[in-house]
Amino acid sequence: MSPPAENQGAILVAMGEWGLAWWCALIFTATPLLALVLWHCTDVFHRAAFTLNPAHRGRRLPPGHMGIPVLGESAAMMWYFKVARRPDGFVEAKRKAYGEGSNIYRTHLFGSPAVIVCSPAANKFVLQSTDSFAGRWPMPELLGLTSLPNIEGRQHTRLRGCIVAAVNQPEPLRTFARMVQPRVEAALRTWADKGTIIAVPEMKKVMFGNICKTFISLDPSPFTEKMEKLFVGLVDGIMAFPLNIPGTASHHGLMCRRKLNAVFREELERRRAKKTTAATLGDRQQEDGDLMSRLMETQDEQGKKLSDDEVVDSIGSLVMAAYESTATAAMWASYHLAKSPDILAKLREETAAVRRANNGASSFITYDDISKLKYTAKVVEEAIRVTNFAPMVHRVALKDVEYEGYTIPEGWRVIVWLRSVHTDAKYFKDPLSFNPDRGSWDEPAKPGTYRPFGGGYRACAGNMMARLQITIMLYHLSLGCEWKLLNPNARTVYFPTPRPEDNAPMAFSRLCTSM
C-alpha cells in the first residue's frame, strides 16, 4: 500500500535535502584533501626524482616547496606582487618557514623547478660562476633567441663588446649627452605648458624618444608611438607565466615581439639597400652611425658579421631594456624628490653651482660635467635602489652545483633575487625609505649588496648610459621646473614594473625663464 501523496512529497523533499547535505559534506571534505594532495605531489615528485638519482646519493636539495602541479609557486609570487603589494613577502615567507640559512630555497616558478638565491654571497656565486650557470629566461623568444641575454661563449663576448663600445664608453656617452638634452628641455617646456601631467607615461615617452634616436635614428612620430605600445606588451609578457595561448600576457608579448622584429628587419633591409646604392654612387657618408649600424658592421676575428637575426634580436632587446628601466627609475626619482623638499634643495644647490661654473653659457651640461655632480649621483643611485626595476635575473644550472651543503640540480632554473638584498635592513638602514644621504653612497657598497644591473659577465652593458639619462633628467628638472604630486599617498603597483597606482599625476610649472 503506497503512502498518501502528501507523504510521498515529504519523503522526496527529505531525500533531496539529505542528498544535498551528503554532497556538500563530500565536497567540503574532499576539496581540502585534494588541495593538500596537489600541494604535496609536485614537491614529492621532484624530491623523489632527485633522491633516486644515484649521482645524488648523500646530497640534499635546498629547503623549500615546489607548490602545485604546473603552476608551482607562481600564483603565490603573483599574490605578493599584485594583490598584497608586498613583493618582499614572497622571500620573507620562505625565510620565516625554513630559516635564513644560506638564503637558498627550492621552488617551482615560471614553469620550471627552480632555486632562489637571495643573499650577497649566494648572488655573487651564481652571477660569477660562468662555468656552472648560463643565462636562460623563462620564454627566450621574448628577448630574442640570439640576443645578448640568451647567447653564450664567444658569440656573447663579441656582441657584448660591440654594445659596450657603442653605448657605454666616454665618447658615445658624450655624443648621447649632446643629443638628448635639447629633447629633454623641449619635453619639460611642453609639460610646463600643460600645467598637469601624468608622470609615468610622459617620462616613458621622453626616454623612449631618446633611445629611438640614439639606437635607430628615429624621431618621435605616430609610428614610434605604436612601437612604444608594442614594447609595453613585450615587457608585460616577460614578467608573466610562460604560457603561450591566446589571452595570456606571454602570448600577447610574443605577438608584440614578432611585430617589432618585422619593423627592425624592414629597417635593416632599408639600410642595406641604402648602403648598396651609396657604394654604387661612390658615397662614403651613408652610415647612420647609430647602434643599429654598428651592430650591422660588427665582425668577429674571422671577419664574420652578425646575422640579420642577431641584429634584429639584439636591437629589440636593447631598446626595451634601455628605455623601460631608465624611465621607471627617473620617474621614481622625481616622485621621491617631490616628497622630499630638503633633498631637492640640496640637489638644486649642486646643479646651480655647476651651471654657474660654466658661466651660464649654456643650459646644457657636458659628459665631463657629470663627475662634478656628486650629490646628484647619490640621488640617482638611491632612486635606482628603491625602484628595483629588475627584481630578479634568471640563470640555469649547466651541471649539478654544490653550494652551502645543498645541490642545485642540472637543468634547474636559478633565480637571483636582487631585490631582497636592496631592501634588507642589514645592508641599508630603513631600506624602503628614499635617502640619498645614507652612508652607503659615501663609500663603495659591500660586495654583492648593490646589484641593480646584475653582475658578472652578464652585467648590464648599458648601465652608464642609464645613469647618464637619469642624471640629465634630474639636472634639467631641478634647474628649470617645479612639480607637485597631486596624490602623494597613492598605492604602488609592483607588476610588471613598479609605479604609482594612478601613474603619478603632477602639477608642473616653470621655475625660471631659463627653460
pLDDT, tens digit (0-9, with 9 covering 90-100), for 394-416: 999 999 999 999 999 999 999 99
Q: Is residue 52 part of a domain?
A: no
Q: Is residue 500 part of a domain?
A: yes
Beta-bridge mates of residue 508: 483
The pLDDT confidence band at residue 12, using thresholds 50, 70 and 90, is: very low
Q: Is residue 75 part of a domain?
A: no
pLDDT of residue 457: 86
- Provide the residue range defining the domain that includes 423: 140-510
Do the Cβ atoms of 403 and 124 come closer than 8 Å?
no
Query: How many domains does one find in the chain?
Result: 1
The pLDDT confidence band at residue 286, using thresholds 50, 70 and 90, is: very low
The pLDDT confidence band at residue 29, using thresholds 50, 70 and 90, is: low
The pLDDT confidence band at residue 283, using thresholds 50, 70 and 90, is: low
> To the nearest whole percent, how much of the chain has pLDDT over 90?
63
Q: How many CA atoms lie within 13 A of 60 on its CB side?
A: 8
pLDDT of residue 274: 86
pLDDT of residue 419: 94
pLDDT of residue 496: 87
**CB environment 312-321: b (16+ within 10 A), e (fewer):** bbbbbbbbbb
pLDDT of residue 91: 94
Average pLDDT over residues 24-50: 69
Residue 41 vs residue 77, higher pLDDT: 77
Residue 511 vs residue 108, higher pLDDT: 108
Q: Is residue 213 part of a domain?
A: yes
SS3 state of residue 385: helix
The pLDDT confidence band at residue 166, using thresholds 50, 70 and 90, is: confident
Cα–Cα distance, 481 to 474 (Å, whole number):
10
Q: How many helices (H) and strands (E) does the chain have?
A: 16, 12
Residue type present at position 373: L
The pLDDT confidence band at residue 452, using thresholds 50, 70 and 90, is: very high
Cα–Cα distance, 318 to 260 (Å, whole number):
12
pLDDT of residue 277: 80
Non-local (6+) Cβ contacts of 311 within 8 A are 264, 268, 292, 295, 296
The pLDDT confidence band at residue 16, using thresholds 50, 70 and 90, is: low
The pLDDT confidence band at residue 106, using thresholds 50, 70 and 90, is: very high
pLDDT in tens, 321-373: 888 999 999 999 999 999 999 999 999 999 999 998 887 656 889 999 999 99
- Per-residue pLDDT for 304 more than 50? yes
Do the Cβ atoms of 474 and 380 come closer than 8 Å?
yes
Beta-bridge mates of residue 133: 397
Cα–Cα distance, 44 to 146 (Å, whole number):
36
Residue 443 vs residue 504, higher pLDDT: 504
pLDDT of residue 512: 62
Q: Is residue 48 part of a domain?
A: no
pLDDT of residue 45: 87
- Per-residue pLDDT for 285 more than 50? no
SS3 state of residue 393: strand
In this structure, is the dihedral angle defined by the CA atoms of residues 173, 178, 183 and 184, taken in order, positive or negative? positive
pLDDT of residue 33: 55
pLDDT of residue 501: 96
**Among 81-85, 235-239, 294-298, 474-478, whose mean pLDDT is lowest?**
294-298
Q: How many CA atoms lie within 13 A of 421 on its CB side?
A: 24
Domain at 193, CATH number: 1.10.630.10
The pLDDT confidence band at residue 472, using thresholds 50, 70 and 90, is: very high
pLDDT of residue 279: 66
- Per-residue pLDDT for 486 more than 70? yes
Residue 1 vs residue 191, higher pLDDT: 191
Kind and range of the H or E run holding 23? helix 5-51
The pLDDT confidence band at residue 288, using thresholds 50, 70 and 90, is: low
Q: Is residue 401 part of a domain?
A: yes
- Per-residue pLDDT for 289 more than 80? no
Q: Of how many residues is the chain composed?
A: 515
SS3 state of residue 450: coil
pLDDT of residue 380: 97
Average pLDDT over residues 487-499: 93
Residue 427 vs residue 439, higher pLDDT: 427
Do the Cβ atoms of 61 and 407 come closer than 8 Å?
yes
- Per-residue pLDDT for 149 more than 70? yes
Distance set, CA 429 to CA 86, 272, 286, 335 (Å): 19, 54, 54, 21
Q: Is residue 483 part of a domain?
A: yes
The pLDDT confidence band at residue 508, using thresholds 50, 70 and 90, is: very high
pLDDT of residue 162: 85
The pLDDT confidence band at residue 446, using thresholds 50, 70 and 90, is: confident
Mean of the per-residue pLDDT values of the chain: 88
C-alpha radius of gyration, the chain, whole number: 27
**Among 22-26, 73-77, 207-211, whose mean pLDDT is lowest?**
22-26
Q: Is residue 62 part of a domain?
A: no
